[in-house]
Amino acid sequence: MKPEPITFEPIGVIRSPFQEVAGTPIQGVFAPEAEGTVEVFEQFADGLRDIEGFSHLYLLYSFDRTQHVSLTVVPFLDDREHGVFATRAPCRPNPIGLSVVRLLARDGCRLRVGELDILDGTPLLDLKPYVPNFDSRPDARAGWVAAVAGQQRPPVADDRFAGE
Stretch that binds a second copy, among 17-25, 43-51, 152-160 (CB under 8 A): 43-51
Q: Is 42 in the site for a second copy (CB under 8 A)?
A: no
Q: Is 152 in the site for a second copy (CB under 8 A)?
A: no
Which string of b and e fits 69-83 if b means at least 16 CB within 10 Å? Answer: ebeebebbbbeeebe
Q: Which amino acid is at 84?
A: V
Among 16, 24, 37, 62, the residue binding a second copy under the rule CB under 8 A is 62
- Contacts of 19 by beta carbon, 8 Å cutoff, 6+ apart: 119, 120
Among 105, 136, 154, 159, the residue binding a second copy under the rule CB under 8 A is 136
- How many chain residues touch a second copy (CB under 8 A)? 73
User: Of 4-23, which residues contact a second copy (CB under 8 A)?
Assistant: 4-11, 13
Please give the distance of CA 116 from its chain centroid, rounded to a whole number.
Answer: 8
State the Cα–Cα distance between residues 4 and 9, nearest whole angstrom: 17
Helix (H, G, I), strand (E, B) or coil at 96: strand
Stretch that binds a second copy, among 16-24, 25-33, 156-164 (CB under 8 A): 25-33
State the Cα–Cα distance between residues 53 and 41, nearest whole angstrom: 20
Q: Least separation, in Å, of the C-beta of 6 and a second copy?
A: 5
State the Cα–Cα distance between residues 42 and 109, nearest whole angstrom: 6
User: Of 68-127, which residues contact a second copy (CB under 8 A)?
Assistant: 71-72, 81-88, 92-94, 96, 98, 100, 121, 123, 125-127
Among 17, 27, 74, 153, the residue binding a second copy under the rule CB under 8 A is 27
